[in-house]
Structure 1
């Protein structure tokens, strides 16, 4: 008898029965591979996570693959406390890397006293990278018996370890923290005046006095600090005015200079001498 060549062999029948099982398995494998490519591509173009907003189902699937936080790296911190910065990020090692918001972390970091600006970068390798730019100490502000370190904008950034930031200008009085930077910049243009100035004192939250190292006070006119400081610098160069034993130099009037001499101590009276002579 002749064999029917069109009849499928046993091997072909076996493959046909299992074709429906092989194809779904291939589709699942390809699907996970494509998901990995999409995740990696979005991460490359969106390291901060601004566009990486996947649905809850996809996030759950990816977290199952093992995308966890392995490291929280902080760069740029000199004075800010590292534990405080780590707490402000709101993420810890072991958390799902897609389960936190870089934008919210940045906002929390920038609310800290020392942090001027922050960048938060999320990497699918498991690293959360935080870069902070700190506020720079400008002056020590004295007000109502309290001391604090402030930046040029007047923001308080520290209230302890005041001697840890090196020599800083001393500013005194309400409102001094907000306006002292501009006055200090003017004094920097007249170093012969700046080097003799111990403190910038805000008076009535409207004008300034310069308190000198020798105890004298220079009264500056309101809103006319620049010409007054220039005039004071010329007087110092020509007459060494700031090195004299003066109690005050009044520059508030543009057409005159008022000097107040240091009061001479009163001579001791005979009765005082007798009372003091018997003390040991």
Structure 2
């Protein structure tokens, strides 16, 4: 696709991941933000509170809703450098906004200019996420101020091989694959999900997915993760899948697409970061 012209894009970095709404096409309602959480706890995982700063790289992409007259959450993303954000290419349109670590979505948001959008050249707009290469980079006008609550995530090396069953974590605002928004400010969930082998994932999607057509549903640049009943309902499109490896958190996937079904447990499908590490570092300086 032709390069995107510069647009008025904004990136909001929240001190902790607590943004709301989903990566779906359903626009969030215009409900007024409610009171924020306290400074030490910002989300939930079932019955457990998520401590502030646990996922300091989480980002929220925003689109401008004219009816609500404000920027609203549409997709997730991750801070991979003080001046760069990684997300899904299908999330990046003409009028988009971004957000990263704060206490609650729409609670004391702080916006930062985004000056450049780089979608992978092999991303096909017509095929969207199903076509692969669903990955994009966004450059901020200036580096963000880092702290214990705002910090980049390391990217998995291209040599990393993930074994099926490896437990990783997906984060976001928990509505990916649904059609309803939450009432802002929204709680920030996290979910532990196992890696699903690509051939197994392919067979699952072949059971009833219209995504198949001709050729493979799950491309080589994709990876799958999910557990029974929660495969594609955690996190936001464009958001990170991270694994704990060699005493550090590394990002292995960018949430791309998925399906929901009452009788089939579809894993969520991610863009495989390892496939694109060389392309990412063509644009993003090594850090730290």
TM-score, normalization by structure 2:
0.19
| TM-score with structure 1 setting the length | 0.19
Q: Which has the higher contact order (CA 8 A, sep 6+)?
A: 2
Larger Rg: 1
